[in-house]
Every structure is written in structure tokens, then in C-alpha cells.
Amino acid sequence: MTPQGLPRSTIDSQVMWARLISVVEEQAQALLRTAFGSVVREAGDLSAGVYNVQGEMLAQAVTGTPGHVNTMAMAVSHFLERFPLRSMKPGDVFVTNDPWMGTGHLFDYVMVTPAFRGDQVVAFFASTCHVTDVGGRGFTADANSIYEEGVLIPHMRIRSQDVVNDELLAIIAGNSRNPIEVIGDIRSLISCNDAGIKRFDGMMLEFGLENLDSLSAHILESSTCAMQDAIRAVPDGIYATQMTLDGYETPITLKARLTVDGERAVLDYHGSSGASRYGINSPKCYTDAYSAFGLKCIVAPDVPNNAGSLACFEVQAEPGSCVDPRHPAPVTARHVIGQMLPDIVFGCLAQALPAKVPAESAGSIWVLAMSDLAASGAPRFNVMNVGLGGVGAGPGRDGLSTTAFPSGVGTIPVEVTETESPLIFHRKELLPDSGGPGTQRGGLSQIIEVGHTGSEGFAVSAATWDRLVYPARGRAGGSDGQSGAAYLGSGTRLEGKQTHRVPAGDTLVVELPGGGGFGDPKERTPEEIEADLEAGYVTAAGAEKAYRGA
């Protein structure tokens, strides 16, 4: 016989777990709806989560992007090292944008709010979003140290017992090119945590909870077990691979060695290139985040992301390397390396699970950070748009076209950007033949052409543009996706990473990288090739070359 209390508590803990996920989703929605920066509100560059008093993440919002969520998984514990629980008071909110202890670059402000039951802290709510401007050189990779990249806010209170730290806000506003937007976003972060806590208080009361200890143990244990089971299903072994990226001053080599031993997986980046002199380095927290994301997509997509499931996977890197740069290395465009890491994890896992792992994707999203040429005296503007390439094909499916992977952000409508700036898009269209040929074709990328409506030129940062030289590679006999390209409408080629001037009367053209193909192109069915031709995803010449062995 089952004792009377037991089945009830089994059901209760399941219900409370579901509730906790819904609470953080409310928190993320509140942020999405009040945020000012278009990269947050249109593209969804944000995240929200809830933590136990040890700083372990219990649940994350569905809304958000993996680079934020998995980095934020560790962020709360860094606050706890500096501010003991007993020093925290109701109404306190803590903040930092420290790239190494937050989410990888100065643009992301992490806001942590303790939730109380009486005078005891029982949980933490954290949120983060990309804040468009924090001083420094703006969204470029040109800086040689963090000091040039903007203002770093060390861990501190931004609100003490409900009193907002106006001095800190004044410092932030005083260092921003767009103070109203930045302060608005910071206030939105604070208030979304409050929204989460309000709902959380109701849940504690409803279930008569004094603390989260047993619920937290239940969530973390169940998730750990599920993740361990998933890793155990991967054949034991050591799987090594490497990948070359364009880099900034010199190509970057990423080397990875995945050791799967029973229920543990360890990824070692030993041998990868040293840190770049420019801001494309991925702080270890960001490296951890996207490495774990890659593993989880393949082995355990359904296991919830929390401290329990993340703990089963260890990432090692050499201090001072591009995947573990040390202060004061520049890191603004850290996703150039960070967003390539799921692909390198896939490269390892493909050896263990060949039937489950897709080809490489465009990876790093191309941020199109466009602004006026400050000297010209023309109207000022500063807009961030994103260019998205193709996703790698996988077993049984073509890759998605013009979709971010692994990032979770989306595009910004042309009409929105054109209304907020004097820019005009001449083209934003799928790029035929850009998807890597294969039994399954890689996702297509796009071509974007932008000019100025007036008689001025503009500046564009190429900080995050990669795969112009080294394309997304195919898998299992599939061919590579097409490399990216950037040039002026008048013909001049542009290189990745630097900041470029688009002269008056000229235009900027970018061709994003396509996704890699999966499986031998000769195995693609004639019907699929015909359908691609009819839609124009593939040109006649492209099909001839890729599929008919010309």
C-alpha cells in the first residue's frame, strides 16, 4: 500500500514544477513587453530564470536565447560569493554586466532579485537583456581591451530595500549614447523580476511552502537522472574534432575532445587558438553555455535546462585561449566564437551518433550595427539589425533557411528599421545555391542590400561576420554551405570584423553563409531536386554542379 501522503506529494511536486516554469515565463513576457531596445523587443534577445538559495538554476523561461540562459545559470552564484544571504533585504536588487561573471559581454545587464519568505531568502529571480549602448566603441570588435569596450558595473545593489540607486543610474546614463533607452531597459529588468516574485509569493502561499528545499531537490535530482540516462545512451569513447574560423587578425582554430564515460561527458578545448587581440573572444561562461546547448540538442532535447541537467557536462579550456580569455581581453562580439561551439560539439558527437547529428550552420549571427558617420553632421542614428544565414541539414530533413542557430533571436522587420533610421533596404531575399548540397540540403542564406535615403554615407560594424572564408561544413558526405560575402554595391569587397564606411550613394551588400548539406548529394531524390529548381532554391547551373556531378 502506498501511504496516503505520498502520492499527493508526488503530484504536488509535479504541479509546483510546472508552476515555477510558468512563473519565469511570466517574468520573461513582462520584460519582452516593456523593453526598449529593438534587438530585445523584436528579436527576443533576453532571458529569465529562478534559482534556489545556493544559486542553482531551477527553471528558465521558454522565451529567450540559449547564450543568455545558460550563462545566467552561473551568474547568481557569483553574487552569492560577494553578498552573503544574511546581508540581503527585501526590496534589494543586484546588478552586474561583468562579462566573466554575467553573460559574456558588457551589453548584457544581469539583474538578480532575492525572494523572501519572512526575513529568509527562499529563491532568486534573475533576468538579462541586451542593452543597446553602454559607452565604449559601440557594437564593434575593434577594441583591444575591455577598457575600450564600455563601462563595467561590478556586482552591486541597484536597489536597496526598494530605493533605486540613482547615482548608479546617472553613471550609466552619463556613459550612454542613448540614455533614455538604456535606463528604460534597466527599469524593465528590475520590474520583470518583481513580477516574477509576486507570482512566486502566491505559489508559496498556495502550497504552504516555507522554503524551496524539497522542490528544488526534486527538480534537480529528476533532471540530473534524466540527463545522466541520456548521456549513458551515448557510446563511451573519446571523440575529437576541430574547426577553423575566419577570426579577426588571423584564422582561429577550435579544437575539441569530447570524453563520454558512463553518465559523464567532458569537453576539452585544449589546443584551441589563443585569445584574439580583438573583441571576438568568448568568456568561459559563454563557452560553457553554448557547449552545453549543443550537447543537449542532440542527446536530451526534452530534459529541462537547469543546474541539475547542466551539471552532468563539464567544459575545460586553457586560460588565455579564445574560449577562456582572461580580463582585460576584449569580448564584445563574443558570439563569433561562442555561437560556433554547438557545431564543434556536433562534430564530436557525429562520431558517436552518426545518425542523429546535423551538418554545420551559419553559426554566428551577423549583427548589422549601422550608424551615421559622426563627422558628417548628418542626422544621427544607431540601429542594430541582424542577418541570419542557413541552418545545417540533418538526417531526414533539409536545413531551415534564414534562421538563427544556435541563437534564438529572430529578424527585425525592414519597415521597422526604415522607420527608425534614414536607411533603405534594396534587397532582402533568399540566396539561391547557398545551401550546401546533400541528400538533405543545407538551409539557404539571404542577400541583404542597404543604402542611405539621403545624400550621406553610413558606418557598419562587421564585428560578428564570420564564415566569409571558412564555410559551414557538410556532414556524412554532404557538401559545404556557401561562404558568406560582403561588398559595396560598387564592387569593393569588405572583410569581416572591422568597421566599414559605406560612402554616400553606395550600398552595403551582405551574403550570409548557407547551412551545410547532409549525406551524399547523389542520393538526393530527383523529385526533391526538381522541387528546389522550381522554387529557385537551386539554379540550373547550381543543380548541375552539385547533384549531377558535372
Partner 1 sequence: MVKPTCRIAVDIGGTFTDVVLWCGTRQTTLKILTTADAPERGVIDGVRQVLDEAGRSAAEVQLLIHGTTLATNALIERKGAKTALLTSQGFRDILEMGYEKRFAHYDLNATRAAPLVPRSLRFTVPERVAADGRTVTPLDEQAVRSAVDEMVQAGVQAVAVGFLHAFAHPAHEQAAGAVISDRLPDATVCLSSDVCPEMREYERFSTTCANAYVRPLMSGYLSRLQALLKGEGFECPLYLMMSSGGLTTIDQAIRYPVRLIESGPAGGAIMTAELAVGRGMNKALAFDMGGTTAKICLIDDGEPDRSPAFEVARVYRDMKGSGLPVRIPVIDMVEIGAGGGSIARLDAMKRISVGPDSAGSTPGPVAYGLGGTAPTVTDADLVLGKLNPDRFAGGRIALDADSAKGSLRQVIGEPLDLSDHWPAAGVSEIVEENMANAARVHAVERGKTVSDYTMVAFGGAAPLHAARLAEKLGMHRVVVPPGAGVGSAIGFLQAPVAFQVVRSLRLVLDGVDLEALNAMLAQMSDEVSGVVAAATDDEELLEHRQVELRYLGQGHELAIPLPAHALDPSSLNDLRASFEAVYQRVYGLIMSDSPVECVSWSVTCATRTAPAERIDPPRRQRQVQSERLRPIYDAGAGTMVEAVLFGLDELAAGDWLQGPALVEEDETATFIPSYWTAVLDDGQALVLERRPAHGRGETL
**Of residues 156-215, those binding partner 1 (CB under 8 A):** 180-181, 183-184, 187-188, 191, 194-195, 199, 201-203, 205-207
Task: Give the contact letters, 61-80, x = binds to partner 1 (CB under 8 A), - = no.
Answer: ----xx--------------
Does position 306 bind partner 1 by CB under 8 A?
no
Does position 115 bind partner 1 by CB under 8 A?
no
CB of 534 to partner 1, least distance (A): 5
Within residues 507-536, the interface with partner 1 by CB under 8 A covers 534-536
Does position 116 bind partner 1 by CB under 8 A?
no
Within residues 339-368, the interface with partner 1 by CB under 8 A covers 358
Within residues 222-251, the interface with partner 1 by CB under 8 A covers 222-223, 225-226, 229-230
Can you give the C-alpha Rg of the chain in angstroms?
24
Q: CB under 8 A: which stretch of 34-42, 98-106, 142-150, 472-480 binds partner 1?
A: 34-42
Q: How far apart are CA 219 and CA 445, in angstroms?
A: 40
Complex with partner 1: residue 96 or 223, whichever CB lies closer: 223
Does position 381 bind partner 1 by CB under 8 A?
no
Does position 537 bind partner 1 by CB under 8 A?
yes
Size of the site for partner 1 (CB under 8 A): 97
> First-to-last CA distance in the chain?
72
CB of 282 to partner 1, least distance (A): 19
Q: How far apart are CA 276 and CA 337, in angstroms?
A: 11
Instruction: Judge contact between 219 and 58, C-beta under 8 A.
Output: yes
Complex with partner 1: residue 421 or 479, whichever CB lies closer: 421
Q: Which of 119, 167, 415, 527 binds partner 1 (CB under 8 A)?
A: 415
Farthest CA pair distance, the chain:
83
Does position 298 bind partner 1 by CB under 8 A?
yes
CA distances for 284 relative to 136, 324, 338, angstroms: 22, 5, 9
Residue corresponding to grid cell 551588400: 509
CB of 270 to partner 1, least distance (A): 27
CA distances for 481 relative to 408, 428, 467, 512, 546, angstroms: 21, 19, 10, 10, 11
CB of 409 to partner 1, least distance (A): 7
Alpha carbon 49 to chain centroid, angstroms: 15
Does position 378 bind partner 1 by CB under 8 A?
no
In eight-state DSSP terms, residue 512 is P
CB of 40 to partner 1, least distance (A): 8
Residue type, 469: V
Q: How far apart are CA 375 and CA 356, in angstroms?
A: 53
Does position 56 bind partner 1 by CB under 8 A?
no
Q: How far apart are CA 142 and CA 119, in angstroms?
A: 47
Does position 483 bind partner 1 by CB under 8 A?
no
Cell of 520: 551524399
Q: 434-451 burial, b for 16+ CB within 10 Å, e for fewer?
A: bbbbbbbbbbbbbbbbbb
Q: How far apart are CA 519 and CA 517, in angstroms?
A: 7
Within residues 416-455, the interface with partner 1 by CB under 8 A covers 416, 418-419, 424-430, 446, 449, 453
Does position 302 bind partner 1 by CB under 8 A?
yes
